[in-house]
Amino acid sequence: MNQQEQENVSEEFFPKGAITFFVIMIVLFVIMWLSIYFEVLSRG
Amino acid sequence: MKSYVMKIDKSNRYLMGVLLIIPMIFLVLGVYGGLMQTLFRAGIIQSDPFMGPDYYKGLTMHGVLNALVFTTFFAVAFGNAVVSYALRMKLNMTWAWVSGILMLVGSALATLMIYIGEATVLYTFYPPLKAHPLFYIGLTLLVVGSWVAFWNWIPLYLKWRRENPGEKTPLSVVGIFTTFIVWQIATIPVAVEILFMLLPWSMGLVNEINAMLARTLFWFFGHPLVYFWLLPAYVMYYSYMPKLAGGKLYSDMAGRLVFMMFIVFSIPVGTHHQYMDPAIGAQWKLLHGFFTFMVALPSLITAFTLAASLEYAGRKRGGKGLFGWMFKLPYFDRDRWLFSYLIAGLVIFIFGGISGIVNASYQLNTAVHNTAWVPGHFHLTVAGPVLLAFMGMSLYLLSRYLNKPVKMKGWALSMPYIWTIGVFIFSWGMMRGGLIGMPRRTNTGPSYANQDSALYQPEWISYIDISVVGGVIMTLSVVIFAVVFFATVFAKQKEGEATLEFPTTEPYHDEDVPWLKNFKPWVIAAIIIIVLAYTPVIIDVLQSTAGGSPPFSPENPAPLR
């Protein structure tokens, strides 16, 4: 990557990857939490 | 931000050598105890004791040495380095040595008492299990030593504030002060427990102890203790990791907000460890559960901010697309070996975080309480981001303060990844087993994992075996680290004088937020919430309990007197 491209990264940076990662992580949290929730429900 | 190189004088070098090397010996001893736990629990070791401590003595050593001694020493050593470096001021070495000596004497006393079998009380030291008074005195000295270290930094900070009016305190110093503000507040209830309850009872001055009140005071301290472990790792994540990755911290404000939120919410949460205890009203447990969810917020903010910082670094290094940046980070760069310790810890912490949310959920806790799920979870936190960050930074500081090159950098780099594999396998076995009732703490070897026992539980066996595999891999990685660490200790000194330089990160967004510049309002808010959250809990405990318990030891179901 040349100097100009690196400067563009600095100027235009928007963390779209981090936002997507964060959303996926929250979905993972919800799935894992619900799996334990249904485990508790299944015990009656 | 201009880079700065701090010269290290001889007294500082010797002190830091002691503060970094001695606890590493304690850590290795504790890890040996941990390996023995998995082998005992699987019934692989039948003789009790085997090559040293028996099961419960080993479990006590594992918890006390790894979770209390190693972590406290590291936090103090790291604080000494960060405060003097970031404020560019010299520590008062007399008080720094007093602090170190108090911690050393205290740790040696506590360890000796455990080793000779006079303190088999696990790291929670719940009564009615009784330890020798010197065990409690040892722990008290360890804590007082850490207080002295903190008090030694305060005049430096105040002087820096006077000399730099209007300037933002360096983020790393905000993080270290947050760590020790939380520690200072949280160690008061456990000091009350030790000095006014456990010590007189252990010395025979009083016959009985209110076990429920002691447990409550322990968890008043015990959960903030988790943040005392985590926060130094957060300092590294915010202040150093983005630079190690080749980028900048996405938001300086996020880091400051996170630290202040920890001051407010990390203490009034302890009752979530006591959801199944009697004597405390359900409404107060629910309130502590609510605050526990609040304290998850700064960790979620951290997850996003660090991901954004790493994305920035990855894109600067040529990463394209939505996730291409993830593949451009310096995971295997020998010159940035410290990055591997931080990133591996963060990956582990994703799973430590969600399993902690399960623990903190009042109803879900019924499914996992007192099962192997719990140690499965906390090995993904204290033995994940905390341990790896502490080990990596211990090696980094050691090489700087002793002015020696890090030896076997390739092995140093590989250690956190091997550990990650091990801890995932271990915790998977423990947590899955916990969900079908496998207990924590109990030595399952002679009972539930023994085919000849009436208690035999065949459905637990595979999970116990999985945890053995994980435990062995984790131990191997610690052996690798110990070899690297002590090879560095005994390496030839480099030319020139010892100097310290931290890879301090610049912020991408450097917001100026006045309400995040001062600790005072946040500390006041914390004290108000703690009083509101804990007053009714203590009243409930005092009203619901009568009399007390005589002392017991794990060897005998009859009281000791």
The pLDDT, as a whole number, for residue B384 is 97
B128 preceded by a cis bond (ω within 30 of 0):
yes
Strand partners of residue B500: B6
Residue A2 predicted with pLDDT over 60: no
Q: Are B299 and B201 in contact (CB under 8 A)?
A: no
Mutation target among B300, B351, B354 for the A interface, most CBs of A within 10 A: B354
The pLDDT, as a whole number, for residue B39 is 94
Q: What angle do CA B151, B113, B95 make, to 5 degrees?
A: 20
**Average pLDDT along chain B:** 96
B364 vs A10, A29, A36: nearest CB: A36
Q: How many CB pairs under 8 A join A and B?
A: 69
Residues of B with Cβ-Cβ distance to A28 under 8 angstroms: 350, 354
Q: Could you tell me if B517 lies within 8 Å of chain A, comparing CB atoms?
A: no
**Active-site annotation holds for B223:** yes
Residue B48 predicted with pLDDT over 70: no
* B483-505 per-position pLDDT tens digit: 999 999 999 999 999 999 999 99
- Residue window 248-267, chain B: list those with CB within 8 Å of chain A: 250
Q: Are B248 and B309 in contact (CB under 8 A)?
A: yes
Report helix, strand and coil shares of chain B as percent, to nearest 5: 70, 5, 25
Please, which pLDDT band fits residue B49 given cuts at 50, 70 and 90?
low
* A14-28 per-position pLDDT tens digit: 999 999 999 999 999
DSSP string, B222-289: HHHHHHHHHHHHHHHHHHTHHHHHTS-EEEHHHHHHHHHHHHHHSSTTGGGGGTT-SSS-HHHHHHHH
Strand partners of residue B435: none
The pLDDT, as a whole number, for residue B301 is 98
Which amino acid appears at position B308 of this protein? A
How many angstroms away from the CA of B373 is the closest CA of chain A?
12
Q: Search chain B and give the residue with CA nearest A42.
A: B367
Coil, strand or helix: which one is B553? strand
The CA distances from residue B470 to B72, B374, B447, B474, in Å, are 26, 16, 22, 6
Q: Search chain A and give the residue with CA nearest B368.
A: A36
The pLDDT, as a whole number, for residue B444 is 94
Q: Search chain B and give the residue with CA nearest A43.
A: B367
Q: Could you tell me if B275 lies within 8 Å of chain A, comparing CB atoms?
A: no
In this structure, what is the dihedral angle of CA atoms B339, B343, B346, B350, given to the nearest 10 degrees?
180
- What spatial distance separates the first Cα and last Cα of chain A, rounded to whole Å? 59
The CA distances from residue B116 to B53, B112, B119, in Å, are 9, 6, 8
CA–CA separation, B547 vs B194, rounded Å?
19
Please, which pLDDT band fits residue B375 given cuts at 50, 70 and 90?
very high
Residues of A with Cβ-Cβ distance to B368 under 8 angstroms: 36
Record the pTM: 0.96
CA–CA separation, B16 vs B10, rounded Å?
10
**Active-site annotation holds for B162:** no
Could you tell me the two tokens for B271?
Answer: 């009752």
CATH assignment, B19-544:
1.20.210.10
Do the chains contact at B307 and A18, CB–CB below 8 Å? yes
* Average pLDDT estimate for B371-383: 97
Residues of A with Cβ-Cβ distance to B354 under 8 angstroms: 28-29, 32-33
Q: Are B13 and B502 in contact (CB under 8 A)?
A: no
* B7-21 per-position pLDDT tens digit: 999 999 999 999 999
Mutation target among B309, B322, B346, B347 for the A interface, most CBs of A within 10 A: B322
Q: Are B153 and B76 in contact (CB under 8 A)?
A: no
* B261-312 per-position pLDDT tens digit: 999 999 999 999 999 999 999 999 999 999 999 999 999 999 999 999 999 9
Please, which pLDDT band fits residue A30 given cuts at 50, 70 and 90?
very high
DSSP string, B83-145: HHHHHT----HHHHHHHHHHHHHHHHHHHHHHHTTS--STTTT-TTB---HHHHHHHHHHHHH
Q: Any idea where the domains of chain B sit in the sequence? A: 19-544
Q: Could you tell me if A4 lies within 8 Å of chain B, comparing CB atoms?
A: no
Coil, strand or helix: which one is B544? helix
